[in-house]
Structure 1
């Protein structure tokens, strides 16, 4: 392994440890010592790569963002391969951002911690705004593609539609997280009850996303017409 690859692996290892600590106890409990112990590295190594707590949070945020975007990219690739409509692909893509399992709940907690910290940190706020802007731009392009293929009415404002869809997705993610957390706290030993509740939450969230997408993608795709 090259030195560059080794450094990247160590940074990711430390970032994953931060994510695990945030998921367990929240960002306020993250310290260099706890991060080092969780990652199985020295305190000095953590400080070498991440001089400040904001540096730790930024790397953790980048880690979960890259992971989620990787899943979304796979969804898009599969949708294209199977000639699915843009609306159907977007539904699955937005679902990847909903905290419906342990991995995505961890990602959501890290994202929320980052957003909260960015309120008082111009450096983090810039990254937060840039990340959100990039997602809106991708959704807006999907809407424009929908106009081209017949799924979206001509004259639809793609940027406004993108703001609408991403705002719904972001707010819905918070609601889903809140519901699942309250359910697990209320019935910590009743796995069947929690599972049933989680299934209901997932089904309702999917229905909401589908309805919002249907309001924008009102037509049929001509791209794969035979």
Structure 2
């Protein structure tokens, strides 16, 4: 009513603007049962967090990594705090690491189960002409592709939301040892072991 005016037709309709939804979420997020006299800060309850301030905080952190910007939006009541952003990010990482340890393999958590999956491997070379190698990077990128069909759409393997079971620690769990520890491999300099080669007999062709 505040945004669209006291019009019964617009209020009884099904269409609700995004501005109305955003304003309603911010009102719920910034509301409190009782505020201390003289306090200039608002203590937000996790049970009353709405998607909009969480989305704003995580998006700004993912694109800028600037704490001051997130804290400024938090003071304006538009975003969650930087500490809350880091807590959610840590919870997401720990949940994924727990899934890696259960499955004993490291792979994207959004892959669906029961689908034919292919992979493409390519080198990642950044500034390979560097003379000091301080700015160069050499790695390997692996892209996975899944092929769903109308009969088989796969099974979602993702865990429940981290907001339902927030983490109580700020320390990120480690990846499985089989993924982080790569054993060194060296070939002998003299007489390396080579597999036996089997040659097929040549076919003779007669020309007329």
Higher helix share: 1
- Choose 1 or 2 for highest CA Rg: 2
One fold, TM greater than 0.5?
no
Which structure exhibits the higher relative contact order, with contacts defined as CA atoms closer than 8 Å and separated by 6 or more residues? 1
TM-score by length of 1: 0.27
Higher strand share: 2
